[in-house]
Amino acid sequence: MDPYEDGKRKYLSPLDKPQAELPSPVEALAEIPVVAIEEDHVADEPLIPVTSLLEHLSELRKQIIKGLTIFILFFIVVFSTINIWFPFITRGHSLVILGPLEVVKFYMTISTTLAFGLAMPFLVHFLWSFVKPGLKEEESRFLGLYAPIMLVLFLIGIAFGYFVVNPLSYTFLVSIGATNFDVMVSASEYMHFLIMTTVPLGLLFELPIVALFLSAIGVLTAESMKKIRGWSYIAMGVGSAVITPPDFISQLLVLIPMIILYEISIYLVRRTERKQIESTA
């Protein structure tokens, strides 16, 4: 038998096959920059579109300008009517000033604090208008529902500090000092004391809403709050000592509401979890 099949095979040896034509060096080099340019183009693409970022910054700038405008207007109103607010701030206490600039500092502090409190509903609304488009549906629904309650709780905390914590702690501290000293309270120190015993309490009264929000996004549960109850009480004791004047009366007046609010938060979170289970059943 003829291994080459009577000469019918086209190639007698693999060496007889024509080799594929290799690209010239110039053509090979010409193809490399194309890949490099494409890779560079992909790498240069921003993660966030520039137009979207500029729109967010423009919206943030607009909301900040609106908030500052409202704050300045309230500041001017309060500062121009300072004599009306003065009796509610001093509450009949005899105060002294230690220098000519302390009067200006005292009036500015009063005006700034009251203007911020009066402008807070508007500031919250402007903040809500900015963050709402970027929130998830459940987060947007939660904040839209509980935003008015947050404001009410803040005002309740301020009122609790103004009518309960501040007068009791002030009277206690002054009575201790009057035992061995002639007590003279400066205007700036009194204003600092008033802010210390009111504003932090307004923030602390937001604890139930914060707990509900963390529960709504799946970060916190009633069982986890129960497990860390002891450590939470210790943390609240330390916190009450930090934000209040250095006397145990003020600390107790702040610590007791904090513990009550913590237990209320556990109850509300547990109730919310039960409703979710019933709705999914």
Q: In whole angstroms, give the CA distance from residue 41 to residue 82.
A: 62
Cα–Cα distance, 230 to 21 (Å, whole number): 81
What integer best gives the mean pLDDT of the chain? 79
pLDDT digit string (tens) for 213-240?
A: 788 777 888 898 899 888 989 988 888 8
Token look-up 């509401």 returns: 257
Which helix or strand (DSSP H or E) is residue 46 part of? none
Measured between its terminal Cα atoms, the distance across the chain in Å is: 84
Two tokens, residue 26: 């110039």
Q: Residues 253-270: pLDDT tens digits?
A: 888 889 999 999 999 889
Model confidence, pTM: 0.70
**Residue range 23-41: mean pLDDT, rounded:** 50
Q: What is the pLDDT of residue 63?
A: 85
Q: What whole-number distance in Å separates Cα of residue 219 and Cα of residue 211? A: 9
Q: How far is CA 155 from CA 50, 162, 190, 263, in A?
A: 41, 10, 21, 20
In this prediction, residue 71 carries a pLDDT of 93
Q: How far is it, in rounded angstroms, from Cα 180 to Cα 199? A: 31
